[in-house]
Structure 1
């Protein structure tokens, strides 16, 4: 079994480039930390290699590393025990009946939460804009709890993605607080439904809202708005219940 003792090892130095979005896109790979995420990656057939402090039998090459080496690969503050090298998802033609559209969702926690909720409620296709938090960044991966391994994540231009979905028979609903928005509990969701969610601070531009079939909002007892991760999860849950 291969062992890496030095943080100056060429492979380790190359893998450290995956800490940056540019490095991840160049190689089409990213790193995950901890057994839970590694096992999720293995289940999805996306685990390429494991770097560990002790031998692991996961059906892929396991490289033993001294603690300083693992810590160099890690983005956590505490000592790392195992890190997995994973492949980004390959595109597919079947979108399913439910699609989530994310426009400039910048907080990694919100991004990860929405990916996790999307998988839970049957939205296995997720389109996201260039202004979103990178779904393969460590914080988003952690917040998704491995859900990203079981969804199709695709960066798109919303101006063209929304019309394309509508042409394909999807009913696309924007989420926004406006006078003409329908309350969530009054909406009947067609079989093929897509939700468009916007930035945490500025929401959705009117140009994108105008491209959608409808505009919806979550009814509340008080307060003006919900966190985008919560609002999006409620919308997907409501659609899931209606179509179950």
Structure 2
């Protein structure tokens, strides 16, 4: 059992609260038994830490005190179990793709990951300036969807070049004046969604083969997570 917050192992794990350290180690912390089970089922779980008296069926398990759990926690409540997961990192595209350009809100990204999984998108690519997808709020709002997706990080120029080479049709989402997503019929494609405040960059719009919009009276009232989810649903149905 680990009883001290000054334990070297605990100090090292606390550093995973920082995006820079998560990136360098390829690891991140997860709380909530459901998320930990998702990581276990998909092979990303490395070890777990449980408060004394609690149990979890995993061989690499260490008991900790409540004080240590508080130190590791990324939320206000004290988790009964904390997991260490390896970061999903795919090498190549698979299935239809969702590309997120410079999205900043963790809740939006987490919601879009859930929608991507629900509507048949197998790969999600984030630009370098997007929020880190191992951010605790992203992980929690995704409900573990990131463990079931082909997760990648890539610049827009490299992404579009690679997507074109592999025969993907690039669809850029715009607020208005685009082709109605409801009237579109496409097969192998990549859907590009832009920053919450600015939308897609001019470079992303230029790289898009088709610009698409949602035909609605007040589209601008939809945030990127809702709009992107609707688009993925419609494109999946087509």
Q: Quote the offset at 1:168 in angstroms.
A: 0.8
Q: Quote the offset at 1:178 in angstroms.
A: 4.2
2:229 corresponds to 1:233: yes
Return the alpha-carbon distance in structure 1 between the equivalents of residues 112 and 128 of structure 2.
Answer: 16
TM-score relative to the length of structure 2: 0.96
Other-structure match for 1:169:
167
Other-structure match for 2:206:
210
Number of residues of Structure 1 aligned to a counterpart in Structure 2? 237
Alignment of 1:125-204 (within 5 A): 125-179=123-177, 181-189=178-186, 191-204=187-200
Q: Quote the offset at 1:122 in angstroms.
A: 1.3
Alignment of 1:13-162 (within 5 A): 13-53=11-51, 54-93=53-92, 95-162=93-160
Return the alpha-carbon distance in structure 2 between the equivalents of residues 97 and 152 of structure 1.
Answer: 9
Return the alpha-carbon distance in structure 2 between the equivalents of residues 97 and 84 of structure 1.
Answer: 29
Return the alpha-carbon distance in structure 2 between the equivalents of residues 173 and 223 of structure 1.
Answer: 18
Q: Quote the offset at 1:23 in angstroms.
A: 0.9
Gaps of 5+ in 2: none
Three-state SS of the structure 1 residue aligned to 2:162 is helix
Q: Quote the offset at 1:154 in angstroms.
A: 1.1
Superposed CA deviations along residues 117-169 of structure 1, whole A, max 9, x for unmatched, are 11111112111111111100100000000000111211101122112202211
Greater Cα offset, 98-107 or 59-68 = 59-68
Greater Cα offset, 217-226 or 146-155 = 217-226
Distance 1:115-1:223 versus aligned 2 partners, 3 A rule: closer
Superposed CA deviations along residues 189-216 of structure 1, whole A, max 9, x for unmatched, are 2x21110000000111122111111100
What is the RMSD computed on CA atoms of the aligned residues? 1.3
Superposed CA deviations along residues 30-87 of structure 1, whole A, max 9, x for unmatched, are 0000101000000101111110113424233111000000010001112221100001
Three-state SS of the structure 2 residue aligned to 1:224 is helix
Return the alpha-carbon distance in structure 2 between the equivalents of residues 58 and 31 of structure 1.
Answer: 18
